[in-house]
Structure 1
Amino acid sequence: AEYAEGGHYRGWHTDAEEPEEDPEDARCLTVVVLLSDRSAYGGGHFEARLGGRGGKPAKIPIEGGDAIVFLSKHLWHRVSKVSGSAHRVPLLASPCYWPPC
């Protein structure tokens, strides 16, 4: 995914939903790796609701080269608005073969 200036995914969401109505809802794990140096842009913070959909929002610190791994159906998250240069984040979501997903 590429987040450019003014581009962002501001709405709270999970990366897969119950019931599994779309093929992408079979995702179990999401891996996000930040490729860009944080000094190259502003904003673009990974934020998560700790404790579920109604949980308290928290900014998760991540620097270039860091990765975040989470259960696709359970972590409500978003990315804050980006300013400055675009930053790139490879996204990987695995099919669900693990019962707790």
Structure 2
Amino acid sequence: MPSGYALVVRFTLRDTAAAQQFDELVAQTAAGIRTEPGTLVYAVHTPVNEPLVRVFYELYADQAAFQAHEDQAHTRHFLAAREQFLAGTEVTFLNELPSLSKRPGSEG
């Protein structure tokens, strides 16, 4: 059985100034995200040698938790404010492969 609802979002920023402002927006938004009970992982990375790219990995308890995240005021603010900094966005929703996600100590 799949455990959670996951996605990866790849943001390409316009330039260095936009990247700095985007990172500040993310930092402000993260405070609200940390209070969401159904948000299990919300990680932001910069790929090696791609300083204008941010990759978000998001894992929610289920699709309802993702929708609750999307409905939060801090998320709606982020979604609207981010556009001014972006050159592109790519969203990938993920399906877990149950055979690869067994936890240590589980049977099988």
TM-score class normalised by the smaller sequence: 0.3 to 0.5
In our comparison, the structure showing a higher alpha carbon Rg is: 2
TM-score (norm 2): 0.37
TM-score (norm 1): 0.39
| Structure (1 or 2) with the greater helix fraction | 2
| Structure (1 or 2) with the greater strand fraction | 1
